[in-house]
Amino acid sequence: MWVLLLVLLGAVCVSSVGVGLWVVCRHFFTVDIPAAISHPVKLRVLDCAFQFLVTWGTILEKVGICSMPQFLSLMYNLLPIKRDPDVVVKDLRFGTIPVRVYQPKAPSCTLRRGILFFHGGGMIIGSPKNYHEVCCRLSKESDSVVVAVGYRKAPQHRFPTPVKDCLVATIHFLKSLDLYGVDPTRVVLCGDSAGGLIAAVICQKLIDRSDLPKIRAHILIYAILQDLDLQLPSYQQNGNGPVMNLNFAFSCLCYYLDIKPYWKSAILKGAHMPVEVWKKYRKWLGSENIPDRFKKRGYQQVPLVPFNEDAHLETDITLDLMNAPLIAEDEVVSRLPEAFIVSCEYDFLRDDSLLYKKRLEDLGVPVTWRHMEDGFHGVLSTIGLWGFYFPCSTRILNAVVHFLKGL
């Protein structure tokens, strides 16, 4: 028995060395680390560590042990968290939805603002625990009650379960603000990456709910806001960026929307949508809406390719507004609450934020925008990640806190 265990352990060690060498070699051949990003060596190590876990998760999925997202989530949840003595943290449930509530320990003579925080992770990984320090600091530094929502994720729970979970949690919180000492005129929705998508969708869903307090503002940190056009300048420029690159994002899309990876080429080329769809949404998605300064790092206009009806039949779910709040009608977008938008220069999703910003501004919705010239996708989640902290993440958090204090 012990001999068998030793053999298995040895096999795992040898396999890990092999996987590690393959990941490092692939990293140096395929990943672009921009010179403008501070601590490039640290970023290379972070990217290799993440890709190492993704590769092992993929191997375990292929042999039928567990899915890649399950393995990543398990590894993420092994990371320790740092307790803050100035913040009271409670794990609760809003109905069946697990939430983590953060409240400043110091008493307040006035009602506090409330923040519903939706974490990123492509709808397949991540949890409130992984954003514990972010939420602690948000609560303490902005003197707010923060509710981090632990929504269910793909592949076990595909579209639209994550968004619906967050909508249920939001409505529950809005109906019980008095229990948490929250000012009903100062409730904010906040999210990064896929969490930003959730925040934008929920804002649209609650526009006509006269029985609930109105959302005061929504904060979108390098949010994904559409899955239609993957040939925007930022997708071309930053598709091979570190950590959360375009390939991983497409894998998330397949898990979440139950799309076969076979259609990747058609989707990337835009063959999955008929000409009339591109014509309808060009006024909002067209690259002409992106300022010229964001097109200088090698962008080429991609002509339309022949329509692939089979690809469309499987991927038309990307037109659902719960996947693409950016393409909602003007009548909806014009009634959205004030927005705070963070974009990162070296993020493949950068242009989603720029397009959303323009739409809101064109329709008269107040927008505060912060652009991180040295930012990359997922940088906020490095807060509290041991030695993998990047200064850009603190600047993002400080900018969010400053905005919140002005509400």
**What positions carry a catalytic annotation?**
193, 347, 377
Indicate the SS3 state at residue 132.
Answer: helix
Burial class for 83, CB neighbours closer than 10 Å (0-12, 13-18, 19+): exposed
Alpha-carbon gap, residue 65 to 34, rounded angstroms? 37
d(CA 145, CA 89): 10
Residues 6+ away with beta carbon under 8 Å from 374? 36, 37, 38, 345, 346, 391, 392
Helix count and strand count (H, E) for the chain: 14, 8
Instruction: Work out the burial of residue 3: count CB atoms within 10 Å of its CB; fewer than 13 is exposed, 13-18 middle, 19 or more buried.
Output: exposed
User: Which residues are paired to 341 by β-bridges?
Assistant: 220, 369
Handedness of CA 102, 105, 106, 108 (dihedral sign): positive
Q: How many residues does the chain have?
A: 407
Whole-angstrom distance, CA of residue 318 vs CA of residue 388: 34
DSSP single-letter state for residue 304: P
